Structure 1
Amino acid sequence: MPINRTPPTSPHPLTSVAGTDEPATTLLCFESTLHQCASAPNLSADSNITERKKRKFDGAVSNSSEKINRTMFAAFSNKQESYYEDLMSKMNSIIEQNVELKKSVEMMSEKYDEFLSRITTLEAEKREDRKLIQQLEDKIELLERSTRATGIEIRNVPKTEGETKDDLCGLVMNLGQSLNLDFTQTDLKDVHRFKTKGNSSPIHVNFTSVIAKEKVMNGIKTFNKNKDKSEKLNTTHLKIKHVKQPVYISECLTFKTQKLYYLARTQHKNYGYSFCWTSRGVVYLRKKTGDPQIRVNSEADFEKLRCSNSI
């Protein structure tokens, strides 16, 4: 029995687009194109596909490139070698400088040790010299103090016109009478007035003995004790007329002791001391009645007093 087969429906032919000049594409052309794209084994035959050809190797170009590379490498090597030689030269120079510097430092170190040893020796000698100088100053101070041990100073006594040594001796005798002291001119070794610009320069009296001087100093303390300020020793007691002013008498002190006495009088209250005086050329301090006296030998003692009071 025969088989009846219905052929496939043919596609409608493509018509041209209305209003254009493009021709209609037929199914036959479409199938032919599709068949050619899907089954053509030789793709190079297609005029629309270009073939990429390999570049053939050129031996001359390769040799030239290799030569250039070798030249560049040689130039680079020469440059590096020159740089290395220059670097080594500089390093050797630095090493030499370091060696010289090390020698200089070692020499300076030796000199420093030598100078340090000398300075240490000089400082030790300086300390010994200071001790010796202090000992000599103390001896000179003792000698000056011994030469002034018999002297007193009378201050604030007006100078009269044409004053002579006899007039000064008369003032001292009048002083002895006011103090009820029995001494004569034979007890006086010398009397003179210091030359100063003022009209009442101090009068220096030098006795023949320390005992006579001590009698005068003790007599003055007794005379001024328990008296009003106006009744204490003044010029009327020396029989000086037409003027009445206080008279001050003290020991003859050395320059060093005068400075210490001045500092003690101006600062003793700051350290809590109520009494300040001199005796036989030495400065003393005392806090209150009944307390032991403190001897001041140098300015360093004031610093010790300050430290002891701050504790």
Structure 2
Amino acid sequence: MSITPPTGFSLKMEQTSHSSSRPKRKHDSMINENLETFQNEIKLILQQWKEDQDSKLLQIQNDMDTIKGQISDIKKTNTDIEKTLEFMTGQYDNLNLKVNSLEKECKDYSAKITILENKIEDMTRQNFQTKIEIKNVPMEYPESQPKLLEKVLNISSILNIDISSQIRNVQRLSVKAQTNNPIVVEFTSPISANKFLNAVKKFNSQLIKDKKLSTNHLGISGPHKPIYITELLTPKTKRLFYLTRELNKNKFFKYCWTVNGKIYLRKEEGSQLIQVRSEEQLQEIRNKNSL
């Protein structure tokens, strides 16, 4: 048995059905639009981010290219510096070799010069063995060689020795602009010179200080001046003897004297005899005795 709904009822059902389907389609459409808008915004953001990243990457690439260029320049500069250093090192080595060679030559020449100086010194010393030096005898005007010889003979008479036949030459040195430059007497032999020097030592050793050989013995007017008579020393030995006497003032040594142009030191009677040959040796002696 079938039941047929009323006509009005059927129409309501249809309307109701249509009215419920319309809002759903509208909602879906809005969702789609919102989604599309969101997607577009995301795309725009990503596009901007990509552009920023591309710009930054490009800048980084440019910076890297610049750095690479700078590194290349630095490498080239380092290479040039290394080459320059190698060249300079080579030049330095060459110069060092030349300097060493010159130093060796200088030492060789210095040694040869020292040998020649010693030979000249020995020859001069041998030549001076026949000569003595008389100091503190005033000069007379005019002064001639005969007058000088007379003064020397007067001294020999005071010393009680006869040397008249043993004198080869007499002269006054002109080393300084003064009136009492030394008188140099040359004898015929070293024996005669030593004989005269020994007579002076004997004369002075037998008298008190005020009675030792002086200008008064020669009858020279004026202030009393001691007369010193020593062997004639070479300039080198004279300087060394002066330095040795300065050392002796410190009472390190009791005796200091010269014989045949050679300098000797002795601490005390009976102690070891020391011959002074150079200023370097004298400095060593000073340092050793200063300790």
Q: TM-score, normalised by structure 2?
A: 0.81
| CA distance 1:102–1:161, shift in 2 (3 Å) | closer
Query: Residues of 1 paired with 2:48 and 2:121: CA distance?
Result: 104
In structure 2, which of residues 21, 24, 34 is the aligned counterpart of residue 56 of structure 1?
Answer: 34
Q: Does 1:158 align with 2:138?
A: yes
Shift of 1:285: 1.0
- 1:250-278 Cα shifts (integer Å, max 9, x gaps): 11111111111111111124361011111
- 2:79 matched to which residue of 1? 99
- 1:253 matched to which residue of 2? 233
Query: Residues of 2 paired with 1:165 and 1:302: CA distance?
Result: 39
| CA distance 1:236–1:67, shift in 2 (3 Å) | closer
- 1:129 matched to which residue of 2? 109
After TM superposition, the structure 1 = structure 2 runs for residues 214-253 of structure 1, keeping only pairs within 5 Å, are 214-240=194-220, 244-253=224-233
Shift of 1:219: 0.7
Is contact 2:137-2:227 (8 Å) kept? yes
- 1:45 matched to which residue of 2? none
Is contact 1:271-1:309 (8 Å) kept? no
Q: Which runs of 5+ in 2 are unaligned?
A: 1-29
Q: Which runs of 5+ in 1 are unaligned?
A: 1-52
SS in 1 for 2:275: strand
Between Structure 1 and Structure 2, which shows a larger proportion of helix residues? Answer: 2
Q: Which stretch of structure 1 is more off in the superposition, 198-207 or 130-139?
A: 198-207
SS in 2 for 1:250: strand
In structure 1, which of residues 112, 119, 128 is the aligned counterpart of residue 92 of structure 2?
Answer: 112
Query: Residues of 1 paired with 2:101 and 2:118: CA distance?
Result: 26
Query: Residues of 1 paired with 2:50 and 2:221: CA distance?
Result: 131
Q: Does 1:76 align with 2:49?
A: no
Q: Does 1:306 align with 2:289?
A: no
What is the letter of the counterpart of residue 177 of structure 2? K
Q: Which stretch of structure 1 is more off in the superposition, 265-274 or 151-160?
A: 265-274
Q: In terms of Rg, which structure is larger?
A: 1
Aligned pairs, number: 258
Is contact 1:174-1:239 (8 Å) kept? no
What is the letter of the counterpart of residue 256 of structure 1? K
Q: Does 1:281 align with 2:261?
A: yes
Is contact 1:273-1:288 (8 Å) kept? yes
Query: Residues of 1 paired with 2:50 and 2:144: CA distance?
Result: 125
- 1:192 matched to which residue of 2? 171
